[in-house]
Chains A and B, each alone.
Chain A
């Protein structure tokens, strides 16, 4: 990238600089003996062209919208259109959540992101014994199409794109979304959005699995095949590093394990005869944005370049769109503190700026009070406004990849890619991601990192403002927090009872039998049957119940 002669001069300059610093250090020592990034990578004092001398601009960076997409997936990035400001929300009943969605759209939010309660995420109806105490708590309770109709009431699904954080029962919730859209007069070909549908990271880090890996992967590839024909604008999976990072991984591990999951999905889909040039266009990703600003920017760039390389070299993908890593970002919930919650506004702003400088396609900004409870309307508004300020006032959105070319950013981008490739090679050696998860390798790598992090905070090596330094006396007990009405569970159970009395139960039996038959036969795509089942108002728990009987349930491999 630089002329040999000039590099020689810089090297000489660097030597002199280092020598003079060494001398000065005796009198003015640095704050630490060793500096590391937020993700634990060693960080040098200064970066120069020497650190990126092997980088080839055309090969390694290129231009936005062109392979390997290091600088971004679109030619003009945010000069054309801002990222989608997509706030993850949902709690209590469909009615309550519908109100919050309409509020967010009125406030300038540009897409919806649905949080489901845990029973919904694990395929239990609200009246199942395992659902007790959990209904409507961390998201909205959806038992049947009737709830989904209320959830999206008055929201035009031909105009709004919707992301749904749903994994094991993604097929059922997508089917319900299709059915609601049709009732509104919008055909499936016209709707757009995303289902998370990423089961591997559930086994690794998030915990809302239902079925064992094999049938789970079949459900995923059935969705890929169904959507490529019938729901062409739907992102059929959001391969998620977010939860891996929240579980305590480093930035490098986040990239490595997420892309390794991606490799497993591509392999599974190719195995059943799907073309990666086609389904590859609908793969999307989901990353975390942590506090170490530069490392995070570099991480996004490295992930983009590495995925393009994997798709091209490993899978022979030639379609440009299928080589692109498009991603959603959420700021890091695990970095938010219960102490001095207002400080979290600043953390989120730094993280969100990193996501934007890293070229995200959509963004959720966390609310200041999330370490205390579900966010209030006011704190959600501040979080959304944070994105608007970055978009309109910071200037960060006006130039494509504004940090590209920074010696530090480029060196770190290279380093993260290199280390992620080493992890992926190790996972290949273990027999692929599924085998690596079954052996507990991935989980133990993450747990080691989480434990190291905790120890470094407790030793004071890492400072968390308000937690292990600069503490103040405070009392949060009087703080306004969002409370979920305890009657939500009872109401949801009553609605279920009424639904079961009102609907055509013979029809329900027939459609559930059809789902069962399809489950037994791998050559049949389950999706059309599930769509019919939800239209007959079979509940989510009933459909997943049938699949549980046919597929069995996953048992956690406990790694400590």
Chain B
């Protein structure tokens, strides 16, 4: 893996105000040596994708607890494709039923982390996913 620090956008799409998880994971990524851009609440998919592109991010982590996950993952992944940035890794977490996970992976999410996932597991996964992404650059 290159020496370049991993750059990850932690995003809160839509109207959901639960940001404890997003902020905890953002801090954990930062403590693991990554560069973290936290978007704050109420971001549209366009804003999130634009931030990721402008910030030259390796990955977008989407946190959502309102049940609107399928909608937002689909729109964000499609926007990335439209803008030719489908190499950006997309993953997420929140209150997402196990039964919905296959559909999100199908849409293009790299991984979905449910409640109770240790942050170390997310970090490990993201490091691998970004290494793989960069190996194709």
Contact = CB atoms under 8 A, between A and B. Distances in A.
A118 B66 contact: yes
Contacts of A133: 14, 68, 70-72
A534 B19 CA distance: 32
Contact of A558 (B24, B28, B40): B40
Interface in B52-86: 66-68, 70-72
Contacts of B44: 130
Interface string A188-204: 00000000000000100
Which of B19, B38, B114 has the largest number of chain A CB atoms within 10 A? Answer: B19
A458 B114 contact: no
B20 A118 contact: no
A45 B90 CA distance: 48
Contact of A560 (B14, B27, B97): B27
A532 interface: no
A457 B17 CA distance: 24
Which of B26, B38, B71, B101 has the largest number of chain A CB atoms within 10 A? Answer: B71
Contacts of A337: 115-116
A477 B66 CA distance: 19
Contacts of B32: none
Given A337-B115, A371-B115, A464-B116, A450 B24 contact: yes
Contacts of A372: 95, 97-98
A556 interface: yes
Contact of B38 (A370, A450, A481, A558): A558
B41 interface: yes
B18 interface: yes
A505 interface: no
B26 A208 contact: no
Given A207-B18, A450-B20, A475-B98, A134 B68 contact: yes
Contacts of A373: 67, 95, 97
A484 B40 CA distance: 27
A138 B66 contact: yes
A494 interface: no
A78 B18 CA distance: 34
Interface in A280-339: 334, 337-339
Contact of B17 (A207, A248, A451): A207
A439 B88 CA distance: 34
B17 A467 contact: no
Contact of A476 (B70, B98, B118, B119): B98
Interface residues of A, number: 47
B76 to A, nearest CB: 11
Interface string B24-60: 1011101000001010111010000000000000000
B71 A132 contact: yes
A8 interface: no
B104 to A, nearest CB: 13
Contact of B120 (A118, A374, A458, A475): A458
A184 interface: no
A68 B99 CA distance: 51
A372 B69 CA distance: 13
Given A338-B115, A560-B23, A208 B15 contact: yes
A478 interface: yes
Contacts of B71: 132-133
Given A134-B15, A248-B20, A334-B20, A451 B67 contact: no
Given A373-B97, A374-B67, A208 B20 contact: no
Given A133-B68, A454-B119, A371 B23 contact: no
Contacts of A468: 118
A337 B95 CA distance: 11
A89 interface: no
A447 interface: yes
B21 to A, nearest CB: 9
Contacts of B16: 118, 134, 138, 207
A212 to B, nearest CB: 15
A481 B67 CA distance: 12
Interface string B1-27: 000000000000011111110011011
Contacts of A124: 15
A206 B14 contact: no
Given A207-B41, A208-B17, A478 B68 contact: no
A558 B12 CA distance: 12
Contacts of B97: 372-373, 476-477, 479, 481
A364 interface: no
Interface in A123-178: 124, 130-134, 137-138
A121 B118 CA distance: 32
B20 A247 contact: yes
A287 to B, nearest CB: 18
Interface string A468-498: 1000000111110100100000000000000
A545 to B, nearest CB: 16
Nearest to A130: B15
Contacts of B116: 337-339, 371, 464, 467
A454 B24 contact: yes
A477 B99 contact: yes
A119 interface: yes
B41 A451 contact: no
B136 to A, nearest CB: 30
Given A130-B15, A207-B18, A560-B36, 15 more contacts: A118-B16, A130-B42, A134-B16, A134-B68, A138-B67, A208-B17, A247-B19, A447-B23, A447-B24, A447-B27, A458-B118, A476-B98, A477-B98, A481-B97, A560-B27
Q: Which 7 A-B pairs have the closest CB atoms?
A: A207-B17, A133-B71, A118-B15, A133-B68, A137-B67, A477-B98, A467-B116
19 contacts: A118-B14, A124-B15, A130-B15, A133-B14, A133-B71, A137-B66, A137-B67, A207-B18, A208-B15, A339-B116, A371-B95, A371-B115, A371-B116, A372-B95, A451-B23, A451-B27, A454-B28, A454-B119, A479-B99
